[in-house]
Amino acid sequence: MEGQCCGRWTDDGDYFLFREASGSDFSLWAAPERSGFFAWGWPQPVKLYSAGFDFSSLAVSPDGKRVFLASRNESRELVRYAADLRQWVPVLAGLPASGIRWSPDGNWIAYTTFPDMCLWRARADGSERLQLTFAPMQVFGAVWSPDGSKLAFHELSPGQPGKIAWMPANGGKAEVILAGEHTAEDAPNWLPDGNSLMFLRSWLDKDDRTTATAISTFDLRSGEARKVPGTDNSGPPELSPDGRYIAAQSEDFHALLVMDRQSGKWKQLARAEFVHLPKWSRDGRYIYYQDPRDGEDQPMYRVAALGGKAEEVASRKQFLRSDVGRYSFAALTPDDQPVAVVIRPNADVYALELERK
């Protein structure tokens, strides 16, 4: 069955042990080899243990009295690159966040917690925390409106395509745009007027498969959506601070492109094995991005928006700890320090005592 794996027999061949996964629940089962184990006839598997963590390895002691489980989990931490120290340092230590954005004035942050992916708002120092969304809705890529009064984000609800929603930064009801359309939306940006959103829109067929994509805008006042000309099959947009330029990945993710909205023309700025999450500097002079497939160091770069050679800004080499499984570019601080999510793999071994009847 789906979710079942990692089976093995006890040394005497009397029981078959296996793991079963269902959502966030992981359990250990034993299936007896011989019939007659239960009074009602044909033997059925018995659940021995349930856990809130995944385990993919099983081992049974030679005497068959204990089962050893190797758990598999990961922790996440936000870090920023301090250029003066030439190393990565924690951002709000202990915050289990997977994404963060600062308000335009730098006084507030919006972040999503891991693993529930709920949206929170707080002061820049982490005080006055307020939860804005709740499970089962999951939130990704929250962005502040230019005046700091609203937040827009990509929301994912069970059984529904991803949509863009917005809400007051002080809390309230999330308003989903294009809720009645059979499309999926991602990567929201606020236009400088604060009344319109730009995002990547995907048109879906009856089986929810993508048939076409384009960058689009949505006017919150009129409810009108428009496709941006010349953006068919482009990657998710990242709008420049002045709203004139759009940065995006190429269709194959190997190039960083910039479109001048006045001329409608695209220009290639850089090439990479994989262009990840381009972000504009606060003054609009540079675009930062990561290449997670560029060797083990997974460097971050910046390139001038008007063109030039990409320069390395930071990489995995500047982490002081050795338990960094991978890291992912997430945002820029108000003074353009790169912020990343560090993912650290962890493992524990558990022993279960078994009693045979």
Distance CA 340, CA 319 (A): 11
Read off the pTM: 0.79
CB within 8 Å of 305: residues ≥ 6 apart: 240, 245, 247, 258, 269, 280, 284, 285, 286, 287
Could you read off the pLDDT of 235-293 as tens digits, one per residue?
999 999 999 999 999 989 999 999 999 999 999 999 999 999 999 999 999 999 999 99
Confidence of residue 48 (pLDDT cuts 50, 70, 90): confident
Task: Judge residue 222's burial from the number of C-beta atoms within 10 Å of its C-beta, 0-12 exposed, 13-18 middle, 19 or more buried.
Answer: exposed
Co-location of 214 and 258 in the same domain: no
Co-location of 61 and 106 in the same domain: no
Decide if 80 is inside a domain.
no
Host domain of residue 168: 93-233
Could you read off the pLDDT of 55-87 as tens digits, one per residue?
767 788 887 778 877 776 667 789 999 999 999
> Which H helix or E strand runs over 211?
strand 210-219
CA 135 to chain centre: 16
CB 112 within 8 A of CB 154: no
Co-location of 149 and 169 in the same domain: yes
Could you read off the pLDDT of 282-328 as tens digits, one per residue?
999 999 999 999 888 999 999 999 999 999 999 999 887 666 667 89
Co-location of 196 and 292 in the same domain: no
Domain count, the chain: 3
CATH of the domain at 145: 2.120.10.30
Q: What are the Cα distances from residue 192, in Å, to 25, 40, 167, 245, 258?
A: 45, 71, 17, 12, 18
